Structure 1
Amino acid sequence: MSGDGRGYMTEERILIRDTAREFTMKEVLPVANRLDPQQGTIPMELRQKMANMGYFGIRVPEEYGGLGLGAFEYCLVAEQLARGWMSVASIMARGQAGWLRLGGKLSPKNADRMRRAARGEFLQAAALSEPGTGSDLASISCRAVRDGDHWVITGSKYWCTFADGADYITVFARTAPPPSAEKRFLGISAFMIEKPRGSLPENCEGNPIPKIGYFGWNTYELSFQGTRVPADALIGEEGKAFYLMAHGLEAARAHTAARSIGLAQGALEDSIAYAKERKQFGMPISEFQAIRFKIATMATKIEAARQLLYYVCGEIDQNRRCDSEASMVKYFASEMAEEVTSEAIQIHGGAGYTKLHAVERYWRDARLTKIFEGTSEIQQRIISDNLLGRSVTERRMIEQAFEHLR
């Protein structure tokens, strides 16, 4: 496996990466190969093994029982887990204490939640998008109205993965009308809705969305019909949850890039192994220049994405702005992953178009990475706006989002 990244990789990081690699090959990949074709659910046993490894608390401070590490280590582990099953690399993100880490001073209750999150006992689902609102999150219409000591939430949410299996759902809802069109990002608040695992919150109905991939868990459309939550369910400041959304996007996009790289790496390794075994015209197809050049190109693209990811993670951990670079690595890695996994299917020939080989799973999941955490087109807009200029209002909004929680 390539990618030591000698400018970034310490002995500790190499150990973290290699340990995650061993865990994936032993624990994750066999489960994925067995359950993904059946659209099965990530087993609780595997989740507990992840918790024992500390993977749900990589970014949680040590004082709350986490590993106290940064985005770099987080993405190292995510890449390896995605090499086995992207859904497992994704469920890891449902720990890490979510937006609690960014919501200001912790109450004793939230401090306990942080510790539980680090142990994998308090996992979240996030409800941001809506049926009519995807990338434009400032336009959400789900509402929360104050009623005495409670908030009452009404409205629809879409693409809420793990809504049933999570211990709580973080819902972004509008609590006040925007003061102006230029400041429509204000008036949005975030709420923590605790619930039993395996069910939805009270006064909330939902249906799983039929997906072509990203199996291992369910993704829901939700309808909140007067769901009541206590006043202290508010995360951070009322009306300023857009800052929470914006502040975490750089790490989230790096995480998606890491997952993309993991998928591509799995496809590459499987293709190399298959090319050495598969014989045509009396010799392994790995002897044909067409196949050798495909593999060389695949490996080059993966390594380019990986090295850019290392740089972005370093910037995040130094608390430096890298919104362009985070968008670049998310855009480049996700586009690369679809290309590489498609080439892997081509190398496998007809066998690659069956569920007998994992490359079809890597391909299906890679296609999603170009959509979630901001589509490729959204990433291109961010990059081009930073290069060519954006409106003064939009630039000020983004600067405020970063400075507010710095």
Structure 2
Amino acid sequence: MTDEFIEPPIPVLATPHHTPEREALQQRAREFAMSRVLPVADELDPRKGEIPRSLLDEMGELGFFGITVPTGHGGLGLGAFEYCMVAEELARAWMSVGSIIARAQGAGTGVADPDRRAELLRRSARGQWIGAIALSEPDAGSDLAAVETRAVRDGDDFVITGRKRWTGNARAADFIQVLVRTDDPEPGEKRSAGLATVVVEKERDSFPDGLTGTTIDKIGYHGFVTWDLEFDGLRVPVANQLGSGGEGFADAQAWLNIARVHTAARAVGLARAAVEDCVVYLQQRRQFEHPISDFQAVRFTLATMAARVEQARSFYQHVAHRLDTERSAGGASTEAAEAGAREAAMVKLMATEMAAEVTADGIQLHGGNGYTTEHQVERHWRDARLTTIFEGTSEIQRKIIADRLLPRSPLG
């Protein structure tokens, strides 16, 4: 990689949500991302390498795995706003590092036993309880109500059989959170009835008896190994079910709202990386006896890219602030929850489509050099392209938005 990071020429403007504490946290995340994460990404991404455990340990010491964990359990006690703000900074260097913090953040809060719950929260805040999420299946991706992986009760255990796909970090994780079907829906019930979430505790860098995995080769989003998992009689204690029976689908949907804002923040980080890299490159690259930054067409393209990044950042911060406000008020009303789901889908749609286009513009501004692995901009594009797909494709986001704006006719 030949690019060198310089301080962004566009200042980060104070917003209505700005506080000195947030600024300090953002600066800490930015310095870590550029000094520690970016060199690791430049070294390991071309080899499809995994995030080193030593880097995860540093993130744990900085508190990035416990942003939303209460201070009484060793976390920072902050909200979705700070969580997404830090994710943007980390994703600017390597998206997988902006993603891995989602695999903690108080994982285990749904555990029934209070002592066990407190222990897991403390470990989560330190980065010592990092998991994986197994939702999708070969025939159940956007349609999670179609999940078929079964958890059949046998005494004090569930016996899990089925297949999960797109499970990032599965083998390296301390646990896997699995969406399973414990019962079939009764006549007249929704297809999602009978779904539950079960936590599979495991040793790092291995799979327990009854679980095997095959790696999925990807064009980007390296740092994680992504797995196709086969459950064949895996036994898990019934006590490892989160919440009460039948709430798995609702829990997954609530989690996805936060995940979609988090994805928007990661997309902004990737797009910002393309803008900052182009600022450097356009002043270095000379044609016709001028740096190409002198040419109006190039300047206007960069200006539009930068404006779109700022727009998307303002939107994700607004939605994150709204989610935090509703949480501090003790939960949202049904109407507010619907509006929150709509806005989470809107910002995920807008920010990720923006990132895919802005990073593609970044490649274009690099010319032929952009179509090489010699510059970071191709990595930003590969990773940004995925953001339009995971946590619900852009098409699914449009469906969520439209369904909340337009009621269907009785004949529809």
TM-score by length of 2: 0.92
1:222 lines up with 2:197 in the alignment? no
Aligned with residue 300 of structure 1, among 295, 307, 324 = 307
CA offsets 1:254-310 (integer angstroms, 9 cap, x no match): 100000000000010000110011000000000001110110000011011000011
The alignment partner of 2:275 has SS state of: helix
Contact 2:183 2:195 in 1 (8 A): yes
TM-aligned CA deviation for residue 105 of structure 1: 5.5
More off after superposition, 138-147 vs 383-392: 383-392
Structure 1 residues 129-208: aligned runs within 5 Å: 129-180=136-187, 182-208=189-215
Contact 2:48 2:223 in 1 (8 A): yes
Contact 1:3 1:307 in 2 (8 A): no
The alignment partner of 1:172 has SS state of: strand
Match of 1:332 in 2: 350
The alignment partner of 2:366 has SS state of: helix
Classify 1:368/1:391 alpha carbon distance in 2 versus 1 (closer, same or farther; 3 Å): farther
TM-aligned CA deviation for residue 5 of structure 1: 4.4
Match of 2:361 in 1: 343
Contact 1:168 1:192 in 2 (8 A): yes
Please tell me the root mean square deviation across aligned C-alpha atoms, in Å. 1.4
Identical positions, percent: 51
TM-aligned CA deviation for residue 97 of structure 1: 2.3
Letter in 2 for 1:113: L
The alignment partner of 2:128 has SS state of: coil
Distance 2:184 2:37 in 1: 46
TM-aligned CA deviation for residue 329 of structure 1: 0.6
Distance 2:71 2:113 in 1: 15
The alignment partner of 1:163 has SS state of: coil
Letter in 1 for 2:70: P
Contact 1:250 1:316 in 2 (8 A): no
Match of 2:277 in 1: 270
Distance 2:348 2:284 in 1: 34
User: Matched residue pairs, number?
Assistant: 390
Match of 2:13 in 1: 4
1:233 lines up with 2:251 in the alignment? no
The alignment partner of 2:55 has SS state of: helix
Structure 1 residues 4-43: aligned runs within 5 Å: 4-43=13-52
Distance 1:245 1:340 in 2: 30
1:246 lines up with 2:264 in the alignment? no
The alignment partner of 2:151 has SS state of: strand
Aligned with residue 59 of structure 1, among 51, 61, 68 = 68
The alignment partner of 2:259 has SS state of: helix
1:68 lines up with 2:68 in the alignment? no
The alignment partner of 2:246 has SS state of: coil
Contact 1:124 1:167 in 2 (8 A): yes
More off after superposition, 182-191 vs 369-378: 182-191
TM-aligned CA deviation for residue 107 of structure 1: 2.1
Contact 2:139 2:146 in 1 (8 A): no
Match of 1:404 in 2: none
TM-score by length of 1: 0.94
Distance 2:166 2:227 in 1: 6
Match of 1:90 in 2: 99
Q: Which runs of 5+ in 1 are unaligned?
A: 393-406
Aligned with residue 372 of structure 1, among 387, 390, 395 = 390
